[in-house]
């Protein structure tokens, strides 16, 4: 089998420049998205969810989780989106679910690549607050105006809430051809909100106004590992207010949220196959490690990425790591009917457990990180590498999340992972969780957050600088009789949005 398949491997010289940038999500050109959408995952056992087994998780009875099951559509490439009804009377729009940013922003003017937008003039409850907001991404940006309005979520908690809305008026490379959403729902913490953290994010408003628990969970089922001919779009679930037991198997393992901005977690170790990469654990968290539904790929700091590619090259039949496959510039193709998965190792990520002297391991199989790419050729199945290098931290993106049901337990400041019921290819699991492991031999902290300030010398330097600044400020104030009117400048986001980090490559 192995030998027979060898000559069948092509490295397609798919020269399209857009493929180089590919992240599926941003691809705008030649691939046929409808074909990709047909390759939906093997699905959750539908029959299991129909019997109200899950209601126990909501003691107050306010939230009907079953109503929220399957409330998402989309895929890792173009993102998962939720239907929301905005304004009075309601305007129904699709909103991308992004745990890597914190603004709720929606198209409020026509754009060639979107089919609908939120028309503020038609909503009697829309209130503008006159502030402008502008978010610039490494690639792409949007500008708009801050306001608020009432929204309801048809497949969400019962009720209408008032939330902050950034009305997108102009944008550049933000809406792309082929996307089916018209706005973005940032589910991270307020410190990432723009123009500043006083703009209360959606989920904080939802919790406050409906009284649901401060927890949400995500199941994303769009992985294209099934070559079924189903025309059903891939789906997923955003459960607001708790966990829906029918969406996962086995135990939920929790890792602490190190800092509440992104969902920042601590990665202790990486393995390719059974081989420990053996890097200093700080490399894995340089300069942060986050869980982000708005990023398509698993993104690894450059040093870690290089080590992973080297290890995979040694274990797979892709002997030449310079071939362009790993850098994302080329696809690897097999004749139809063959799949490459048996030639690639599983990849394991160890996360710090809530008992900090322990860890647990998320393992993803190649079905999750070697992505089938539409119909390139009638005789070939072509695949792209679902891992890329990153200069702004490790990102556990949709590629990994599709293997798991992920709980964002903000109440207890922790993120939970359990094997997702839809993470199976023809009944064979493509993700697993094991633990606990002893975290001995791992530094007490692998994350960089605040470390430099723990040094007494650095404290001294910091305080000295602060004192100096205060002094300068006093002098400036004394010299300036007229009050200094600061212009509100729209801040630029450098790497807050995942959506965008995903677009860079």
- Side-chain-facing half-sphere of 68: CA atoms under 13 Å: 29
Query: Minimum distance from CB of 60 to ligand NAG (Å)?
Result: 12
The C-alpha atoms of residue 255 and residue 459 are separated, in whole angstroms, by: 29
Cβ distance to ligand NAG smaller for residue 211 or 450: 211
Instruction: Provide the minimum distance between the beta carbon of 358 and ligand NAG in the complex, in angstroms, as a whole number.
Output: 5
Q: Compare residues 269 and 288 and give the one whose CB is closer to ligand NAG.
A: 269
Looking at the annotation, which residues are catalytic? Answer: 98, 292
Q: Of 66 and 277, which CB lies nearer to ligand NAG in the complex structure?
A: 66
CB of residue 67 vs ligand NAG: minimum separation in angstroms? 9
Complex with ligand NAG: residue 17 or 47, whichever CB lies closer: 47
Which three-class secondary structure state does DSSP give residue 121?
A: helix
- C-alpha 61: how far from chain center: 30
Q: Write out the two tokens for 379.
A: 């005789």
**Whose Cβ is closer to ligand NAG: residue 90's or residue 273's?**
90
Closer Cβ to ligand NAG, 344 or 404, answer by number: 404
HSE (side-chain half, CA atoms, 13 Å) at 489? 6
Q: Which is nearer to ligand NAG, 50 or 110 (CB)?
A: 50
Pairing status of strand 380-385 against strand 331-335: antiparallel
Nearer to ligand NAG, 110 or 177 (CB): 177
Q: What per-residue string of b and e applies to 8-31 under the rule 16 or more CB within 10 Å gives b?
A: eeeebebeeeebebbbbbbbeeeb
Please report how close the Cβ of residue 155 comes to ligand NAG at its closest, in angstroms: 11
**Do the Cβ atoms of 395 and 74 come closer than 8 Å?**
no
| Long-range contacts of residues 65-70, Cβ cutoff 8 Å, at least 24 apart | 65/239, 65/241, 65/242, 65/243, 65/244, 66/244, 67/155, 67/156, 68/155, 68/156, 68/237, 68/238, 68/239, 68/240, 68/244, 69/237, 69/239, 69/244, 69/246, 69/247, 70/155, 70/235, 70/236, 70/237
- Of 101, 133, 201, nearest in space to 161 by CA: 201
CA distance 335 to 82: 36
CB 331 within 8 A of CB 31: no
Distance CA 393, CA 383 (A): 25
Per residue in 398-435, is it b (16+ CB within 10 Å) or e — as a string?
bbbbbbbbbbbbbeeebbbbbbbbbbbbeeeebbbbee
Q: Which letter, b or e, does each residue of 44-65 get, where b requires 16 or more Cβ atoms within 10 Å of its Cβ?
A: beeeebeeeebeebbeeeebbb
CB of 440: closest distance to ligand NAG in angstroms?
A: 8
Q: What residue ranges bind ligand NAG (CB under 6 A)? A: 32, 34-35, 45, 47-48, 158, 355, 357-358, 438
Rounded least distance, CB 82 to ligand NAG, Å: 16
CB of 48 to ligand NAG, least distance (A): 5
Integer Cα distance of 122 and 120 in angstroms: 5
The nearest distance, CB 233 to ligand NAG, in angstroms, is 13
Q: How many alpha carbons lie under 13 Å from residue 244 in its C-beta half-sphere? A: 30
């Amino acid at each position: 089998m192995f030998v027979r398949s060898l000559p069948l491997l092509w490295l397609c010289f798919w020269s399209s420049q857009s493929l180089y940038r590919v992240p599926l999500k941003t691809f705008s050109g030649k691939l046929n998205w409808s074909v990709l959408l047909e390759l939906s995952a093997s699905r959750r056992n539908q029959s299991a969810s129909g019997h109200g087994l899950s209601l126990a998780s909501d003691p107050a009875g306010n939230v009907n989780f079953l109503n929220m099951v399957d409330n998402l559509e989309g895929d890792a490439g173009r993102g998962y989106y939720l239907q929301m009804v905005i304004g009075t009377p309601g305007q129904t729009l699709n909103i991308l679910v992004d745990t890597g940013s914190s603004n709720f922003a929606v198209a409020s003017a026509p754009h060639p690549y979107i089919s609908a937008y939120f028309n503020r003039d038609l909503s009697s409850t829309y209130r503008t607050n006159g502030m402008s907001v502008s978010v610039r991404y490494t690639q792409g940006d949007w500008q708009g105006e801050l306001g608020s309005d009432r929204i309801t979520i048809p497949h969400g908690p019962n009720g209408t809430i008032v939330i902050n809305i950034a009305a997108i008026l102009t944008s550049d490379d933000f809406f792309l051809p082929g996307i089916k959403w018209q706005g973005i729902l940032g589910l991270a913490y307020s410190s990432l909100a723009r123009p500043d953290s006083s703009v209360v994010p959606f989920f904080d408003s939802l919790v406050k106004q409906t009284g649901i628990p401060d927890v949400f969970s995500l199941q994303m089922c769009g992985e294209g590992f099934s070559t079924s001919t189903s025309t059903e779009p891939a789906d997923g679930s955003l459960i607001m207010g708790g966990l829906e037991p029918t969406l996962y198997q086995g135990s939920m393992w929790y890792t602490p949220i190190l800092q509440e901005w992104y969902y920042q977690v601590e990665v202790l170790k990486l393995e390719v196959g059974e081989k420990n990469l053996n890097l200093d654990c700080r490399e894995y968290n340089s300069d942060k490690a986050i869980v982000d539904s708005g990023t398509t790929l698993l993104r690894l700091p450059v040093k870690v990425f290089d080590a992973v590619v080297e290890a995979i090259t040694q274990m797979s039949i892709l002997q030449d790591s310079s071939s362009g496959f790993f850098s994302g510039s080329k696809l690897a193709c097999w004749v139809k009917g063959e799949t490459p998965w048996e030639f690639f190792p599983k990849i394991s990520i160890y996360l710090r457990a809530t008992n900090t002297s322990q860890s647990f391991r998320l393992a993803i199989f190649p079905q999750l990180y070697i992505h089938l790419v539409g119909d390139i050729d009638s005789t070939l199945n072509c695949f792209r590498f679902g891992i890329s290098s990153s200069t702004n931290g490790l990102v556990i993106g949709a590629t990994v999340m599709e293997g798991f049901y992920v709980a964002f337990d903000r109440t207890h400041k922790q993120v939970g992972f359990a094997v997702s019921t839809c993470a199976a290819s023809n009944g064979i699991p493509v993700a697993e969780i094991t633990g606990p492991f002893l975290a001995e031999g791992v530094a007490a902290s692998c994350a960089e957050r605040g470390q430099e300030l723990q040094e007494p010398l650095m404290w001294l330097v910091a305080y000295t600088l602060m004192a100096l600044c205060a002094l300068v400020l006093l002098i400036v104030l004394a010299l300036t009789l007229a009050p200094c009117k600061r212009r509100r400048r729209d801040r630029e986001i450098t790497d807050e949005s995942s959506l965008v980090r995903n677009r860079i490559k």
